[in-house]
Amino acid sequence: MRQCNCNLVKWFLLSNGSATKPEIAEATGISLMTVGKIVNAMLEEGTLLRSGLRESGLGRRAERFELDGNRSCSVSLRFRGVGVDFVAANEFGAVVREEFMPMPEGYLVAELAPKLAGFLDGLPPMRTAVAGFPAAVFGGRLHSGGLRQFRQMDVQRELNALFGIPVWMGRDLNLATVGYSRRGLAPMALETPELQDITCFLLDPAGHGAGCMAGGRVLRGADFFAGEVGRMPLPGGRCIRDLVADDVPDEEYIAGVAYLLGAVTCTVNPRIAIFSGRSVRPALLPEIDRRLRQRIGFHWEGEGNVCPELVWEPDIWPFYRAGMVYRATRRLHSGVQMVDDVF
Protein backbone atom coordinates (compact mmCIF):
# COMPACT_ATOMS: atom_id res chain seq x y z
CA MET A 1 0.00 0.00 0.00
CA ARG A 2 2.84 2.39 0.82
CA GLN A 3 4.43 1.78 -2.59
CA CYS A 4 1.09 2.31 -4.30
CA ASN A 5 0.64 5.64 -2.49
CA CYS A 6 4.17 6.70 -3.46
CA ASN A 7 3.44 5.83 -7.09
CA LEU A 8 0.24 7.89 -7.00
CA VAL A 9 2.15 10.90 -5.72
CA LYS A 10 4.84 10.50 -8.39
CA TRP A 11 2.25 10.05 -11.14
CA PHE A 12 0.40 13.19 -10.07
CA LEU A 13 3.59 15.26 -10.01
CA LEU A 14 4.77 13.86 -13.35
CA SER A 15 1.49 14.87 -14.93
CA ASN A 16 1.03 18.24 -13.20
CA GLY A 17 4.50 19.60 -12.47
CA SER A 18 4.61 21.07 -8.96
CA ALA A 19 2.03 20.95 -6.16
CA THR A 20 1.53 21.56 -2.45
CA LYS A 21 0.85 18.74 -0.01
CA PRO A 22 -2.87 19.65 0.25
CA GLU A 23 -3.15 19.67 -3.56
CA ILE A 24 -1.55 16.24 -3.76
CA ALA A 25 -3.85 14.90 -1.05
CA GLU A 26 -6.95 16.30 -2.75
CA ALA A 27 -6.03 14.93 -6.17
CA THR A 28 -4.92 11.46 -5.07
CA GLY A 29 -7.34 10.80 -2.21
CA ILE A 30 -4.45 10.04 0.13
CA SER A 31 -4.70 11.56 3.61
CA LEU A 32 -2.74 14.75 4.19
CA MET A 33 -0.74 13.07 6.96
CA THR A 34 0.30 10.21 4.67
CA VAL A 35 1.17 12.65 1.87
CA GLY A 36 3.38 14.53 4.32
CA LYS A 37 5.27 11.35 5.20
CA ILE A 38 5.70 10.40 1.53
CA VAL A 39 6.90 13.87 0.56
CA ASN A 40 9.39 13.98 3.43
CA ALA A 41 10.77 10.56 2.49
CA MET A 42 11.11 11.59 -1.16
CA LEU A 43 12.91 14.77 -0.12
CA GLU A 44 15.39 12.74 1.93
CA GLU A 45 16.14 10.38 -0.95
CA GLY A 46 16.51 13.29 -3.38
CA THR A 47 13.55 12.42 -5.60
CA LEU A 48 11.72 15.67 -4.82
CA LEU A 49 12.78 19.30 -4.95
CA ARG A 50 11.32 22.28 -3.12
CA SER A 51 9.99 24.75 -5.69
CA GLY A 52 8.94 27.76 -3.61
CA LEU A 53 5.90 28.94 -1.68
CA ARG A 54 2.33 29.68 -2.71
CA GLU A 55 -0.64 31.28 -0.99
CA SER A 56 -3.04 28.65 0.35
CA GLY A 57 -6.78 28.86 0.89
CA LEU A 58 -6.19 29.41 4.60
CA GLY A 59 -4.22 32.59 3.96
CA ARG A 60 -0.90 30.93 4.76
CA ARG A 61 1.93 30.26 2.33
CA ALA A 62 2.23 26.59 1.44
CA GLU A 63 5.40 24.96 0.12
CA ARG A 64 5.35 23.47 -3.37
CA PHE A 65 7.23 20.37 -4.46
CA GLU A 66 8.30 18.94 -7.81
CA LEU A 67 10.15 15.87 -9.01
CA ASP A 68 13.84 16.17 -9.85
CA GLY A 69 13.87 15.39 -13.57
CA ASN A 70 17.66 15.25 -13.81
CA ARG A 71 18.36 12.26 -11.57
CA SER A 72 18.53 9.93 -14.57
CA CYS A 73 18.02 9.93 -18.33
CA SER A 74 16.79 7.86 -21.24
CA VAL A 75 18.66 7.23 -24.48
CA SER A 76 17.05 6.66 -27.87
CA LEU A 77 18.80 5.51 -31.04
CA ARG A 78 17.70 5.93 -34.64
CA PHE A 79 19.48 3.36 -36.81
CA ARG A 80 20.21 4.40 -40.39
CA GLY A 81 22.40 2.99 -43.14
CA VAL A 82 24.94 5.81 -42.77
CA GLY A 83 25.01 5.96 -38.99
CA VAL A 84 23.04 6.32 -35.78
CA ASP A 85 21.29 9.30 -34.18
CA PHE A 86 21.68 9.40 -30.39
CA VAL A 87 19.09 11.29 -28.30
CA ALA A 88 19.16 11.69 -24.51
CA ALA A 89 16.20 13.03 -22.53
CA ASN A 90 15.63 13.76 -18.86
CA GLU A 91 12.93 12.14 -16.72
CA PHE A 92 10.30 14.56 -18.03
CA GLY A 93 11.11 13.82 -21.67
CA ALA A 94 13.02 17.04 -22.39
CA VAL A 95 15.88 16.40 -24.84
CA VAL A 96 19.18 17.26 -23.15
CA ARG A 97 21.65 15.97 -25.75
CA GLU A 98 21.48 14.92 -29.39
CA GLU A 99 24.21 13.78 -31.76
CA PHE A 100 24.56 11.93 -35.07
CA MET A 101 27.32 9.32 -35.17
CA PRO A 102 28.46 8.37 -38.71
CA MET A 103 29.24 4.68 -39.14
CA PRO A 104 30.89 2.64 -41.92
CA GLU A 105 28.76 0.60 -44.29
CA GLY A 106 27.66 -2.69 -42.74
CA TYR A 107 28.41 -1.56 -39.17
CA LEU A 108 27.41 -3.82 -36.27
CA VAL A 109 25.84 -3.03 -32.89
CA ALA A 110 29.03 -3.83 -30.97
CA GLU A 111 30.88 -1.09 -32.88
CA LEU A 112 28.68 1.51 -31.18
CA ALA A 113 30.24 0.88 -27.74
CA PRO A 114 32.85 3.69 -27.85
CA LYS A 115 30.31 6.06 -29.44
CA LEU A 116 27.80 5.34 -26.68
CA ALA A 117 30.39 5.82 -23.94
CA GLY A 118 31.36 9.21 -25.32
CA PHE A 119 27.74 10.27 -25.72
CA LEU A 120 26.87 9.34 -22.13
CA ASP A 121 29.85 11.17 -20.64
CA GLY A 122 28.58 13.86 -18.28
CA LEU A 123 24.95 12.75 -18.38
CA PRO A 124 23.06 11.42 -15.35
CA PRO A 125 22.70 7.62 -15.07
CA MET A 126 20.85 6.02 -17.99
CA ARG A 127 17.85 3.97 -16.88
CA THR A 128 16.09 3.07 -20.11
CA ALA A 129 16.83 2.83 -23.83
CA VAL A 130 14.83 2.70 -27.06
CA ALA A 131 15.99 1.80 -30.58
CA GLY A 132 14.16 2.61 -33.82
CA PHE A 133 14.77 0.83 -37.13
CA PRO A 134 13.64 1.34 -40.75
CA ALA A 135 12.27 -2.19 -40.77
CA ALA A 136 9.65 -4.57 -39.48
CA VAL A 137 10.78 -5.58 -35.97
CA PHE A 138 9.63 -8.82 -34.39
CA GLY A 139 11.13 -11.12 -31.76
CA GLY A 140 14.27 -9.02 -31.43
CA ARG A 141 15.07 -9.27 -35.14
CA LEU A 142 14.68 -7.15 -38.27
CA HIS A 143 12.61 -8.68 -41.05
CA SER A 144 12.86 -6.05 -43.79
CA GLY A 145 14.63 -2.82 -44.68
CA GLY A 146 18.11 -2.02 -45.88
CA LEU A 147 20.14 -2.80 -42.74
CA ARG A 148 20.93 -6.26 -44.06
CA GLN A 149 23.85 -6.81 -41.68
CA PHE A 150 21.30 -7.15 -38.87
CA ARG A 151 19.05 -9.67 -40.61
CA GLN A 152 20.78 -12.83 -39.35
CA MET A 153 21.46 -11.77 -35.78
CA ASP A 154 19.56 -11.35 -32.54
CA VAL A 155 19.62 -7.55 -32.48
CA GLN A 156 17.75 -7.48 -29.17
CA ARG A 157 20.48 -9.46 -27.44
CA GLU A 158 23.20 -7.29 -29.00
CA LEU A 159 21.51 -4.08 -27.85
CA ASN A 160 20.90 -5.41 -24.34
CA ALA A 161 24.60 -6.27 -24.10
CA LEU A 162 25.63 -2.84 -25.41
CA PHE A 163 23.49 -0.91 -22.93
CA GLY A 164 23.54 -3.32 -20.01
CA ILE A 165 19.75 -2.97 -19.68
CA PRO A 166 16.74 -4.27 -21.66
CA VAL A 167 16.26 -2.14 -24.79
CA TRP A 168 12.88 -1.58 -26.44
CA MET A 169 12.95 -1.99 -30.25
CA GLY A 170 10.42 -0.53 -32.66
CA ARG A 171 9.67 0.40 -36.25
CA ASP A 172 10.52 3.94 -37.35
CA LEU A 173 7.13 4.77 -38.87
CA ASN A 174 5.20 3.54 -35.84
CA LEU A 175 7.29 5.84 -33.66
CA ALA A 176 6.83 8.75 -36.08
CA THR A 177 3.08 8.23 -36.04
CA VAL A 178 3.01 8.40 -32.25
CA GLY A 179 5.17 11.53 -32.27
CA TYR A 180 2.90 13.22 -34.80
CA SER A 181 -0.19 12.35 -32.78
CA ARG A 182 1.24 13.81 -29.57
CA ARG A 183 2.51 17.12 -30.98
CA GLY A 184 2.63 19.72 -28.22
CA LEU A 185 2.04 17.20 -25.41
CA ALA A 186 4.71 16.25 -22.88
CA PRO A 187 5.43 12.49 -22.70
CA MET A 188 3.76 12.15 -19.29
CA ALA A 189 0.82 14.48 -20.02
CA LEU A 190 -2.60 13.00 -19.24
CA GLU A 191 -4.39 14.79 -22.09
CA THR A 192 -5.68 12.61 -24.89
CA PRO A 193 -4.28 13.66 -28.29
CA GLU A 194 -6.92 15.09 -30.62
CA LEU A 195 -5.50 13.16 -33.57
CA GLN A 196 -5.67 9.41 -32.92
CA ASP A 197 -6.20 7.95 -36.40
CA ILE A 198 -3.11 8.46 -38.55
CA THR A 199 -1.21 6.65 -41.27
CA CYS A 200 2.36 7.75 -42.00
CA PHE A 201 3.71 6.62 -45.39
CA LEU A 202 7.38 6.52 -46.35
CA LEU A 203 7.97 6.20 -50.08
CA ASP A 204 11.70 6.15 -50.71
CA PRO A 205 14.21 4.21 -52.83
CA ALA A 206 15.65 2.92 -49.54
CA GLY A 207 12.31 1.44 -48.49
CA HIS A 208 8.54 1.72 -48.56
CA GLY A 209 6.33 1.35 -45.53
CA ALA A 210 3.61 2.78 -43.33
CA GLY A 211 2.92 3.29 -39.65
CA CYS A 212 -0.73 3.11 -38.65
CA MET A 213 -2.52 4.33 -35.55
CA ALA A 214 -6.21 3.60 -35.07
CA GLY A 215 -8.15 4.81 -32.05
CA GLY A 216 -4.90 5.89 -30.40
CA ARG A 217 -3.29 2.45 -30.73
CA VAL A 218 -0.40 1.46 -32.97
CA LEU A 219 -1.27 -1.36 -35.37
CA ARG A 220 1.34 -4.08 -35.80
CA GLY A 221 -0.57 -7.14 -36.95
CA ALA A 222 -0.34 -10.79 -35.98
CA ASP A 223 3.16 -11.17 -37.43
CA PHE A 224 4.20 -7.51 -37.13
CA PHE A 225 3.77 -7.32 -40.92
CA ALA A 226 1.34 -4.38 -40.80
CA GLY A 227 2.78 -1.44 -42.71
CA GLU A 228 4.63 -3.38 -45.41
CA VAL A 229 2.76 -1.45 -48.09
CA GLY A 230 5.61 -1.62 -50.59
CA ARG A 231 4.72 -5.28 -51.08
CA MET A 232 1.04 -4.56 -51.69
CA PRO A 233 0.06 -6.30 -54.95
CA LEU A 234 -1.63 -4.36 -57.72
CA PRO A 235 -3.56 -5.48 -60.79
CA GLY A 236 -1.12 -6.60 -63.47
CA GLY A 237 1.31 -8.34 -61.13
CA ARG A 238 3.20 -5.28 -59.91
CA CYS A 239 3.52 -3.90 -56.36
CA ILE A 240 3.25 -0.41 -54.92
CA ARG A 241 7.04 -0.10 -54.77
CA ASP A 242 7.15 -0.62 -58.55
CA LEU A 243 4.68 2.22 -59.20
CA VAL A 244 6.50 4.89 -57.18
CA ALA A 245 9.87 4.50 -58.91
CA ASP A 246 11.38 7.58 -60.54
CA ASP A 247 10.79 6.38 -64.10
CA VAL A 248 7.05 5.74 -63.63
CA PRO A 249 4.81 8.24 -65.50
CA ASP A 250 2.74 10.59 -63.36
CA GLU A 251 -0.58 9.02 -64.36
CA GLU A 252 0.52 5.54 -63.27
CA TYR A 253 1.96 7.01 -60.08
CA ILE A 254 -1.31 8.78 -59.26
CA ALA A 255 -3.36 5.66 -59.94
CA GLY A 256 -1.08 3.48 -57.81
CA VAL A 257 -0.95 5.77 -54.77
CA ALA A 258 -4.71 6.42 -54.96
CA TYR A 259 -5.25 2.65 -55.04
CA LEU A 260 -3.05 2.26 -51.94
CA LEU A 261 -4.88 5.05 -50.12
CA GLY A 262 -8.23 3.54 -51.03
CA ALA A 263 -7.25 0.21 -49.48
CA VAL A 264 -5.97 1.89 -46.31
CA THR A 265 -9.04 4.13 -46.04
CA CYS A 266 -11.43 1.20 -46.30
CA THR A 267 -9.41 -0.83 -43.79
CA VAL A 268 -8.27 1.52 -41.00
CA ASN A 269 -9.91 4.85 -42.02
CA PRO A 270 -7.20 7.35 -40.93
CA ARG A 271 -8.12 10.98 -40.40
CA ILE A 272 -4.80 12.10 -41.85
CA ALA A 273 -2.27 10.46 -44.19
CA ILE A 274 1.29 11.76 -43.96
CA PHE A 275 3.68 11.28 -46.88
CA SER A 276 7.44 11.52 -46.64
CA GLY A 277 10.44 10.25 -48.58
CA ARG A 278 12.29 10.92 -51.82
CA SER A 279 9.78 9.00 -53.94
CA VAL A 280 6.86 11.21 -52.93
CA ARG A 281 5.74 13.64 -55.63
CA PRO A 282 4.15 16.44 -53.57
CA ALA A 283 2.78 18.26 -56.60
CA LEU A 284 0.65 15.22 -57.43
CA LEU A 285 -0.99 14.90 -53.99
CA PRO A 286 -3.96 17.18 -54.87
CA GLU A 287 -4.80 15.01 -57.88
CA ILE A 288 -4.30 11.84 -55.83
CA ASP A 289 -6.70 13.28 -53.26
CA ARG A 290 -9.27 14.10 -55.94
CA ARG A 291 -8.96 10.61 -57.44
CA LEU A 292 -9.31 9.00 -54.02
CA ARG A 293 -12.47 10.95 -53.14
CA GLN A 294 -13.88 10.15 -56.55
CA ARG A 295 -13.43 6.44 -55.83
CA ILE A 296 -14.62 6.57 -52.23
CA GLY A 297 -17.48 9.07 -52.17
CA PHE A 298 -18.98 7.93 -48.88
CA HIS A 299 -20.20 10.64 -46.49
CA TRP A 300 -21.70 10.30 -43.04
CA GLU A 301 -24.84 12.39 -42.64
CA GLY A 302 -23.84 16.00 -42.05
CA GLU A 303 -20.15 15.14 -42.14
CA GLY A 304 -17.39 15.36 -44.72
CA ASN A 305 -15.92 12.66 -46.89
CA VAL A 306 -14.40 9.71 -45.01
CA CYS A 307 -11.13 10.00 -46.94
CA PRO A 308 -8.08 11.27 -45.03
CA GLU A 309 -6.42 14.63 -45.41
CA LEU A 310 -3.14 14.20 -47.32
CA VAL A 311 -0.10 15.93 -45.81
CA TRP A 312 3.42 16.22 -47.23
CA GLU A 313 6.18 16.22 -44.60
CA PRO A 314 9.67 16.47 -46.14
CA ASP A 315 11.28 15.47 -42.83
CA ILE A 316 9.58 13.18 -40.31
CA TRP A 317 12.60 13.09 -37.98
CA PRO A 318 11.10 15.59 -35.47
CA PHE A 319 8.06 13.31 -35.08
CA TYR A 320 10.18 10.15 -35.07
CA ARG A 321 12.38 11.62 -32.33
CA ALA A 322 9.32 12.70 -30.32
CA GLY A 323 7.90 9.18 -30.60
CA MET A 324 11.14 7.62 -29.35
CA VAL A 325 11.41 10.05 -26.44
CA TYR A 326 7.75 9.42 -25.57
CA ARG A 327 8.32 5.67 -25.49
CA ALA A 328 11.56 5.99 -23.52
CA THR A 329 10.04 8.35 -20.95
CA ARG A 330 7.00 6.14 -20.43
CA ARG A 331 9.30 3.16 -19.87
CA LEU A 332 11.32 5.20 -17.41
CA HIS A 333 8.19 5.64 -15.30
CA SER A 334 6.50 2.31 -16.05
CA GLY A 335 6.45 1.48 -12.35
CA VAL A 336 4.19 4.44 -11.55
CA GLN A 337 2.17 4.58 -14.77
CA MET A 338 -1.54 4.48 -14.04
CA VAL A 339 -2.80 4.04 -17.60
CA ASP A 340 -1.66 1.99 -20.57
CA ASP A 341 0.14 3.79 -23.38
CA VAL A 342 -0.21 3.64 -27.14
CA PHE A 343 2.19 0.73 -27.47
Residue 211 pLDDT exceeds 80: yes
Is the same domain home to 176 and 189? no
- Looking at residue 25, which CATH number applies to its domain? 1.10.10.10
Residues 224 and 255 in one domain: yes
Q: How many Å apart are CA 114 and CA 25, to the nearest integer? A: 47
Do the domain assignments include residue 129?
yes
Residue 330 is assigned to a structural domain of this protein: no
Confidence of residue 323 (pLDDT cuts 50, 70, 90): very high
pLDDT, tens only, 123-168: 999 999 999 999 888 888 888 778 989 988 999 999 999 999 999 9
- The predicted-structure confidence for 9-64, as pLDDT tens digits, reads as follows 888 888 888 888 888 888 888 888 998 898 899 888 888 888 887 765 556 678 89
Residues 188 and 291 occupy one common structural domain = yes
* Residue 285 within a domain: yes
3 state SS of 23: helix
Please enumerate in sequence order all residues whose Cβ is within 8 A of that of 50, keeping only pairs 6 or more positions apart, or say none: 43, 63, 64, 65
Final residue of a structural domain among 151, 180, 209: 180
Q: Is residue 40 part of a domain?
A: yes
pLDDT one-digit tens code per residue, 78-110:
999 999 999 999 999 999 999 999 999 999 999
Kindly give the pairing relationship between strand 83-89 and strand 95-102. Answer: antiparallel
**Is it the case that residue 278 has pLDDT exceeding 70?**
yes
- The answer to whether position 326 is within a domain reads no
Question: In this structure, what CATH number is given to the domain that contains residue 205?
Answer: 3.30.420.40
Q: Give yes or no for residue 293 having a pLDDT over 60.
A: yes
Does some domain include residue 77?
A: yes
- Domain shared by 10 and 80, yes or no: no
The model's pLDDT over 159-199, given as tens digits with 9 standing for 90+, comes to 999 999 999 999 999 999 999 999 888 888 878 888 899 99
Give percent of the chain with pLDDT exceeding 90: 59
- The residue from 180, 197, 231 where one domain ends is 180
Has residue 46 been placed in a domain? yes
| The predicted structure's pLDDT at residue 124 | 96
Give the count of domains, the chain. Answer: 3
Alpha-carbon span 218 to 226, nearest angstrom: 10
Same domain for 192 and 297? yes
User: What letter does residue 49 receive in the DSSP assignment?
Assistant: E
b/e code 110-141 from CB counts within 10 Å (16+ = b): eebeebbeebbeeebebbbbbbbbbbbbbeeb
Residues 80 and 37 in one domain: no
* pLDDT over 60 at 339, yes or no: no
What integer best gives the mean pLDDT of the chain? Answer: 90
Cα-Cα-Cα-Cα torsion 215, 217, 221, 225, nearest 10 degrees, comes to 110
CB 64 within 8 A of CB 51: yes
57 is in which domain, residue-wise? 2-67
Query: Residue 342: inside a domain, yes or no?
Result: no
